[in-house]
Chain A
Amino acid sequence: MSPVVSVTGLRKRYRRRDPWAVDGVTFEVEAGQAFGLLGPNGAGKTSVVKMIAGLMRPDGGSISLFGSNPGDPKARTELGFAPEDPDFPKFLRADEVLDYFASLLGLSDAERSRRVPETLAFAGLDAEKRQVRQFSKGMKQRLGIAQAILGRPKLLVLDEPTADLDPIGRRDVRALIERLKESGVAVLLNSHLLSEVERVCDTVAILARGKVLKEGTMAEVVPEGSNLEEVFVQLIEANQPQRDHLPSFISDTQAHE
């Protein structure tokens, strides 16, 4: 089976004097697979997914999205991307935002009229009549996921999808991922919530400072009797300088007591 997305030796840096934000990342995601991209803050996860979504140009390496370059708009026809901290035209309502994005996906009038209300209902925004500028972060995140699935994608990229969601929203996203996997959709999940990743992902890659430290199936990465969080912490701490966990003025206060 040919991979839905294939990333080879991907490199990116934002300024010449900066270190590589992404440094030689290689992985593949196949249809029906949920792939977790993990790493501490600044590991390069968002840079990787933005390059896959054609939002940024790599400085080295290559990406094949459905066999094409993600910079080609046609390659993104079957891609759904829910960005971290999503935002939308702030004077539009949720239904207008979805209709706008459905138009960008090239859906017909009839298909838009069918999909937009159903997607709004899924996101719990069907009764919402306010403009986006009055939305909470959680509502924007729901709308972000809604617009990502609107085009019935074959690859769904979720960048921190549950960060601002309540427990019900998290459960819905988990159920969505499971349902999509069953129907053959590939899911690329970028998340800090390791318990979530452990529950839904088949394969994970752990990144730090732009490099893949470990990659494999969940069984390969997480040994028997351990969990993903333990593996993650050990791996990251072994690959970066040790930090004092508390500032000295806090430690001093504790000592005085």
Chain B
Amino acid sequence: MSGAVAVARYTLIELSRRRVLLVFLVIGAVGIALLGIGLKVLYQVLASNPGSAGANVDPAALDSFLELLFVSYLFQAVSIFGLLIAYGIGMTAIYHDLESGTAVSIFSKPVSRLAFSAGKVVAAVVALVAIVGILAVEARIVMLLFGGGLENALTGQVAAVVANVVVIMLIVLALSAWMNNILAAVVAFIYYNVVSGLITTIHLLADSGVLGNAIVKSTFDVLYWLVPHQLVSGAVRELAERQLALANGPVDSQTLASIPAASGWGDIAWWAFTVVFFATFLYWAVRRRQV
């Protein structure tokens, strides 16, 4: 146990000094601040200009609109930065130890490969949550510029993004114990984003009746439960509802049906299983690795 804690502690110190992660954090933080402040300033200028379209809009509605716009951009930004950070951590946290002589010195100490793997996973997850968490906290502070009301949507979306990128990070970590870290990142991307994404999309189409072929449906019903499922928060649907309400449009169930619903307990349980599966795969790769 103390071995895992030591590995986690010093891996975190190492990760905190990696420039690439610092650069992602700084770019993300500056981007979020500029996005929020920029939107606010831009629309205030428009609202104060008597000739502009924004001048006749109710200030509360304008704030709601701004917040919606900010949050929808933010969702995209958090997804992209979460992914970049996951790849940044996944490609370096174990690979450099195994490829340099570091692992030789570590594994000759009375520390088990299980403790080493556990320490690395804990450090990687903590670093990922910390960096995305800092960006999320900053985003919530920037949201104070607007009317508020979408804080829970932001929290839900950040949680979903973190959950999804943790799986990608574990895949990259595990693969990087086997192969070159760049190749590991490419394989993980193809598996998680291309193959799994394709299977999930076809499964959804078959489930909703767009693809009527029974064989295709059965095949993709099986394949769907062989790949990780991306978790979806209720935030996307909440955002759509708000947009419709703001536009005074009808909030009908048909429009909302096209937007994926929040993941249920089945998907969350499957996510937990995939996390355990890939963490076990990582341990197995580290265990069989001869340094």
Contact = CB atoms under 8 A, between A and B. Distances in A.
A89 B2 contact: no
Given A73-B110, A76-B110, A103-B6, A91 B17 contact: yes
Interface stretch (A37-45, A80-88, A116-124, A164-172): A80-88
A138 interface: no
A101 B110 contact: no
A109 to B, nearest CB: 11
Contacts of B280: none
B111 A73 contact: yes
Contacts of A176: none
A86 B10 contact: no
A25 B104 CA distance: 22
Query: For this complex, into which size category does the number of interface residues on chain A fall?
Result: 20 to 34
Contacts of A73: 3, 109-112
Nearest to A53: B108
Interface string A79-118: 1010101111111100010001101111000000000000
B73 interface: no
B290 A104 contact: no
A54 B107 contact: yes
Nearest to A77: B110
Contact of A88 (B17, B105, B290): B105
B177 to A, nearest CB: 15
Majority DSSP secondary structure for residues of B touching A: helix
B109 A85 contact: no
B106 A92 contact: no
A147 B10 CA distance: 15
Contacts of B96: 89-90
A88 B102 contact: yes
A76 B109 contact: yes
Contacts of A100: 6, 9-10
Contacts of B112: 73
A55 B109 CA distance: 10
B105 A144 contact: yes
Q: Which of B2, B9, B109, B110 has most A Cβ within 10 Å?
A: B109
Given A91-B17, A92-B10, A100-B6, A86 B105 contact: yes
B147 to A, nearest CB: 43
B13 interface: yes
A174 interface: no
A101 B2 contact: no
Given A89-B96, A100-B6, 19 more contacts: A50-B104, A53-B104, A53-B107, A54-B107, A55-B107, A57-B290, A73-B3, A73-B109, A74-B110, A87-B100, A92-B10, A92-B14, A100-B9, A101-B105, A103-B6, A104-B6, A104-B111, A106-B2, A106-B110
Interface of B: 2-3, 5-7, 9-11, 13-14, 17-18, 96-97, 100-102, 104-112, 290-291
